[in-house]
Amino acid sequence: MTRKQDRACAGSEGHPHRYPSHRSHIPTPQRQREASRFTMPALVSALAAGITLMLVIGVLPAAAAPSYQWKAVSAGASHTCAIEFDDSIVCWGNNETRQAGSGSRIGPFTAVTAGIYHTCALRVNGSLLCWGDFPAVQGTPQSGSFKSVSAGFYHTCAIKSDDTIVCWGGYNDYGETIPPAGTFSSLSAGGHYGCAIRSGSSLVACWGYGTNPVYTPWTSAPPTESVMSVSASAVDACAIKALDATLVCWGNNGWGQLTRKPSGSFKALGIGAAAEHSCAIAFNDLLTCWGDNSYAESSPPADLGAVKSVSEGTTHTCAIKSDDTITCWGDNRYGQLNVPAPPPDATPPVITSAVTGEEGTNGWYRSDVTVSWTVSDPESPVLGQSGCTSTTISADTSGTTLTCTATSGGGTNSRSVTIKRDTIAPTVTAAASSSTLLLNETTATATAAASDAGSGLAGPPSCPALDTGSIGIKTVTCEASDGAGWNGYGRASYTVTYKFVGFTTPVDNDGIVNQAKAGLTIPLKWRLLDAYDQPVTNLASYALTVTSATCVLGETTDQIEEYSTGASGLLNLHNGYYQVNWKTPSTYAKSCKTLSLNLFEGSTHTALFEFTK
């Protein structure tokens, strides 16, 4: 009887906590433990069952999953578990110790790992859940946060949040639950051992079976160079070298696991603690398998195509293809190839939109707007979609509607987005009620007219009160807002002046020519009031300029009746009256002059003079 036949004979009635195909790897102390629990009547029953099984089982062709999407798959000894796209787990195949669970979907989870008679999974919150064979799940940490988990034959190891490793379960006959100290970046539990990659150095560290000199050691040792990934199987392990992405394998070579490994470079390894065959994914996403092939478990289907991940069971293999479906091949004695049908899809695809652009107000955008869509359906593939490509709106619009429609097994769904775009602020024209205003005038106002061709005006334009509290050239700014939140501005200028009552005696105004003697000092006097005839008492500066004028015969003249002595600065005579003594040069004799008084409020006040000797 061959080793595989022995596997078939004892498969249904053997020790409930040992997978028969691996008894040849168990040293004497473990075999003795099994022998004490394996009675002759049970053996006879097992052989009888095995003979019957041999008549009906054989190598089955690859079993492709129904058109459904999966995130992860893990093949155990004779059961398989996978994570669906909604993060729930479903298991199928051998369930004699409840390693396949109740058959219902549970979740959510981020990772699943199948041993021989147990299964463990990592919840989304980082906690662990294990089920199946009691010795295998005994000691499962009930608290703490973990980054990854990996099941061996009967033990399990996990990387904690601090990157250290903890192991539990099984019988620890080989030290498989005593990992090395330190921190690690990845982990793979094998049959009765484990291997992990150290943080920083990327060197492999292994413990348990094969590394313990008390029992049969491996025929070859782990590599001493850096690796990118490691995968531990039943009695051998492989890693991808960091230097050139080629494979290095070590351990036992009973099925050519070491000598038949393929050449070339690879990006990922299969995971299978119960397997005596191995698989690797090349950079072109094609799969290569080697080692034990008694049930064609190392012979991927010819039409498999590109794969994303792969997991090896004892006599079967499952892979997630590039379209996220699962294909399994090899031994199907326990239905481990029978990927369950997806639940009926009762809902259409979920469509979400993402709109990017500068948001204004009232649902308007104030820049180019890009609308992109995400279509998903975790229950069945999306069969078709239209209008779901990214679109950029680069012209102003009062409303452009984009619609994405998608169909899956659950029906058809549509989602629409209406985009309003306005990138131009309102146009505003402002004006003051007069271009020249008197000091302290309160009846003067500013008005504005506004328009907006895009989102429309949000309200009438507004203007602040005019500032007439001081003299000079002023600017008023009026504002209008539109529906998109843009603000437009219009500006108008105006001048605030004194009410200049005029020059007072002895100087005449209004075109009368003042006759004066050159060389004498003329007292220039004037009065300033505000818009309400209140005297201005705070004049601080002035300027006099004299320009030549043409003397015209027959003009009305008036003699200067009063002269002063010497020039003076600005004199405040109170009640709005001011005086400056103007010392005229004697050279002005027989000439006419225009005297200009500048009070720096935007206007000039003049008086005409004719000078005699």
* Tens-place pLDDT, residues 473-523: 999 999 999 999 999 999 999 999 999 999 999 999 878 999 999 999 999
- The model's pTM is 0.58
Mean pLDDT of 152-174: 95
Mean pLDDT of 50-72: 51
Mean pLDDT of 365-391: 94
Q: How far is CA 492 from the centre of its chain?
A: 47
Say if residue 320's pLDDT is above 80. yes
Say if residue 298's pLDDT is above 90. yes
The confidence score (pLDDT) of residue 26 equals: 32
Q: What is the Cα–Cα distance from 607 to 508, expressed in whole angstroms?
A: 7
Residue entry with tokens 């201005």: 536
Higher-pLDDT residue of 18, 537? 537
Say if residue 296's pLDDT is above 60. yes
Mean pLDDT of 137-154: 94
Please report which confidence band the pLDDT of residue 15 belongs to, taking 50, 70 and 90 as the band edges.
Answer: very low
Higher-pLDDT residue of 88, 49? 88
CA distances from 394 to 206, 386, 419, 455 (A): 60, 21, 11, 16
Please report which confidence band the pLDDT of residue 551 belongs to, taking 50, 70 and 90 as the band edges.
Answer: confident
The confidence score (pLDDT) of residue 102 equals: 87
E strands, 221-298, are 227-232, 236-241, 247-251, 266-269, 277-282, 287-291
User: Where exactly are the structural domains of the chain?
Assistant: 3-56, 59-331, 353-421, 427-497, 499-612
Asked if residue 311 lies in contact with residue 272, where contact means CB atoms within 8 angstroms, the answer is yes
Please report which confidence band the pLDDT of residue 219 belongs to, taking 50, 70 and 90 as the band edges.
Answer: confident
Please report which confidence band the pLDDT of residue 566 belongs to, taking 50, 70 and 90 as the band edges.
Answer: confident
Q: What is the Cα–Cα distance from 585 to 519, expressed in whole angstroms?
A: 5
The confidence score (pLDDT) of residue 105 equals: 87
The confidence score (pLDDT) of residue 253 equals: 92
Look at 3-12, 145-154, 426-435 and tell me which has the smallest mean pLDDT: 3-12
**What 3 state SS string does 321-382 have?**
ECCCCEEEEEECCCCCCCCCCCCCCCCCCEEEEEEECCECCCCEECCCEEEEEEEECCCCCE
Mean pLDDT of 33-37: 31
Mean pLDDT of 42-63: 35
Question: Which one is the CATH code of 499-612: 1.10.150.20, 2.60.40.10, 3.90.180.10, 3.90.1150.10?
Answer: 2.60.40.10
Look at 3-17, 201-215, 597-611 and tell me which has the smallest mean pLDDT: 3-17
Judge whether 427-497 and 499-612 match in fold.
yes
The confidence score (pLDDT) of residue 62 equals: 58
Please report which confidence band the pLDDT of residue 67 belongs to, taking 50, 70 and 90 as the band edges.
Answer: low
How confident is the model over 177-197, as pLDDT tens digits?
A: 999 999 999 999 999 999 999
Please report which confidence band the pLDDT of residue 61 belongs to, taking 50, 70 and 90 as the band edges.
Answer: low
Q: What is the Cα–Cα distance from 391 to 370, expressed in whole angstroms?
A: 6
The confidence score (pLDDT) of residue 556 equals: 86
pLDDT, averaged across the chain: 88
Say if residue 145's pLDDT is above 80. yes
Please report which confidence band the pLDDT of residue 20 belongs to, taking 50, 70 and 90 as the band edges.
Answer: very low
Mean pLDDT of 108-112: 97
According to DSSP, residue 134 is labeled: H
The confidence score (pLDDT) of residue 595 equals: 96
Q: How far is CA 207 from the centre of its chain?
A: 41
Q: What is the Cα–Cα distance from 215 to 194, expressed in whole angstroms?
A: 16
**Residue 402 in tokens:** 């984009």
Mean pLDDT of 378-386: 88
CATH domain 59-331 topology: Methylamine Dehydrogenase; Chain H (2.130.10)
Higher-pLDDT residue of 271, 381? 271
Task: Spell out the CATH class of 427-497.
Answer: mainly beta
Higher-pLDDT residue of 517, 211? 517
